[in-house]
Amino acid sequence: MLLGLVYSIVGLAVLSLAADQFVRGAARLAVVLRLAPIVVGAIVVGFGTSAPEMLVSGVAAANGRIDIGVGNIIGSNVANISLVLGAASFVALVPVGRSVIRRDAAVSVAAVAMFALLVQGELGRPEGALLLAALGAWFVLILRGARTPGRETDMDDLSELVGEDPPAVGIETVRTAVSLALVAGSAYILVEGAERVADALNLSGGFVGYTMVAVGTSAPELVTAVAAARQRETELLVGNLLGSNVFNSLAVGGVISLVGPGPVGDVTLQTLGSVMMVVICVVSWVAMAIGRRVTRIDGIVLLGLWVVSIVLLAG
Instruction: Tell me the per-residue pLDDT of 208-246, one tens digit each, with 9 for 90 and over.
Output: 888 888 887 777 777 777 777 777 766 667 877 888 899
Sign of torsion over alpha carbons 181, 162, 245, 114: negative
Q: Which residues of the chain have pLDDT under 50?
A: 149-156
First to last CA, the chain: 22
Residues 8, 186 contacting (CB under 8 angstroms): no
pTM confidence score: 0.84
Cα torsion 207, 135, 156, 217 to 10°: value is: 20
Domain 2-314 bears CATH identifier 1.20.1420.30: yes
Nearest to 115, CA basis, from 132, 137, 131:
131
User: How far is 31 from 35, CA to CA, in rounded Å?
Assistant: 6
Arithmetic mean of pLDDT over the chain:
81
pLDDT of residue 161: 54
pLDDT digits (tens, 9 = 90+) for 40-82: 655 666 676 777 888 888 888 888 889 989 999 999 999 989 9
